[in-house]
Amino acid sequence: FPNRALDGIKLRITAGPTREAIDPVRYISNHSSGKMGFALAAAAADAGAQVTLISGPVNLATPERVSRIDVSSAQDMYDASLADLQDCDIFIACAAVADYRPSEAVTQKIKKSADTLTLTLVRNPDIVSSVANSPQRPFTVGFAAETQDVLHYARDKLQRKKLDMIIANDVANTDIGFNSDDNRVVALWNGGEHAFDTMSKAQLSRRLIALIAEHFRTERD
Ligand code: PMT
C-alpha cells in the first residue's frame, strides 16, 4: 500500500458463513467460503491497520499480521463482534450470517421416523446493525448479497441498518460472489456510489480498503 492509509487504525472484519445447529451432527449454513472477508483483512493489514478477523468455519489460512477469532454460530459471531467495541475504529461485515436458527438445538441426534419433519426457526440478532447502533459506533460498512434489484435492496439496507457504506454484491451470478475468486460490486453511501469492474477478490479488496479509508478520514476529520 503506497500511503499506509490505515496506519494504527483498529479494524474488525466478519467473514465466512455461520453454522446453526439442528442437533449434534447437523446444521444450517450457506455457501460463503470466507475468501472475500479474508482478502479484505489482508488488504487492511497491508494498509497498516490492526486487524481482527472474526471468522465462521472456513478452510483458509489467516493472512499475515491479522489476529483471528474463530466462531461458529451467529450468536457467537455477535458476541465476538460486539465485545470491547471501544477498541474498534472501523467495522466491516462481510460474513454471510444466518438470519434464522433452529428454535432449539436438541442435544441428541434426531431419529428418522415420520415422512416429513418440521423445523421451527427463530431470528438471529443482526450483528452489523447492532454495531452501527451501539454507543461506541465505529465507522460501519456492510455487504448486501442480493439476487435481484441489487442496488435497490442495498440502498434500503444502508438506510435501515444505519451504515456508513454498503457493498452491493450480486450473488445470482456464480462467477462472482459466493466461493468464486473474482467479484464485482458497487459501493454505496449516502449521496454517492462507485461501481467496480470484475476483478480478483484480492485486487478488489485493495480498492475497497482505499475507498473505506478515504471515507473514514473524511468523516473523522
Ligand atoms: O465468502 P465468499 O465465498 O468470498 O463470498 C463473499 C460474500 C458473497 C459472502 C460477501 O461478498 C457478501 O456479500 N457478504 C454478505 C452476505 C450476507 O449475508 O448479506 P445479507 O444481505 O444477507 O446481509 C446484509 C449485511 O448484514 C451483511 O453485512 C451481513 O454481514 C450483515 N448481517 C446479516 C445478518 C445478521 N444476522 N447479522 C449481520 O451482521
- Cα 74 vs. chain centroid, distance in angstroms? 11
Query: What is the per-residue pLDDT for 105?
Result: 78
3-state secondary structure of 23: strand
Query: What is the per-residue pLDDT for 2?
Result: 55
User: Each residue of 52-99: pLDDT tens digit?
Assistant: 999 999 999 999 999 999 999 999 999 999 999 999 999 999 999 999
- On whether residue 111 sits in a domain, the answer given is no
CA separation for the pair 112, 92 (Å, rounded): 41
Is 59 part of the annotated catalytic residue set?
Answer: no
Q: Which residue has the cell 459501493?
A: 187
CB 64 within 8 A of CB 42: yes
- On whether residue 110 sits in a domain, the answer given is no
Range of the domain at 14: 10-104+119-220
- On whether residue 175 sits in a domain, the answer given is yes
- On whether residue 1 sits in a domain, the answer given is no
- On whether residue 4 sits in a domain, the answer given is no
147 CA distance to ligand 1 centroid (A)?
13
77 CA distance to ligand 1 centroid (A)?
12
Give the residue, out of 12, 19, 32, with the most ligand 1 atoms within 8 A of its beta carbon, to mutate for a pocket test: 32
Q: Count of domains in the chain?
A: 1
CB 193 within 8 A of CB 186: yes
User: Each residue of 188-205: pLDDT tens digit?
Assistant: 999 999 999 999 999 999
CA separation for the pair 155, 187 (Å, rounded): 10
Taking the CB of residue 34, how many other CB atoms lie within 10 A of it? 23
Q: Please choose, from the candidates 187, 94, 93, 190, the residue with its C-alpha nearest in 3D space to the C-alpha of residue 132.
A: 93
CATH number at residue 175: 3.40.50.10300
142 CA distance to ligand 1 centroid (A)?
7
At CA 177, angle to CA 12 and CA 213, rounded to 5? Answer: 35
- On whether residue 133 sits in a domain, the answer given is yes
Ligand 1 binding pocket (C-beta < 6 A) is 14, 16, 32-37, 74, 93-97, 99, 124, 126-128, 142-145, 157, 169, 171, 177-179
Query: What is the per-residue pLDDT for 1?
Result: 55
Q: Which atom of ligand 1 is nearest to the CA of 33?
A: 3
CA separation for the pair 15, 56 (Å, rounded): 6
CB 161 within 8 A of CB 154: no
3-state secondary structure of 158: helix
Mean pLDDT by 10 residues, the chain (221 residues): 84 98 96 97 98 98 98 98 97 98 91 92 98 97 96 97 97 89 97 96 98 94 78
- On whether residue 2 sits in a domain, the answer given is no
- On whether residue 84 sits in a domain, the answer given is yes
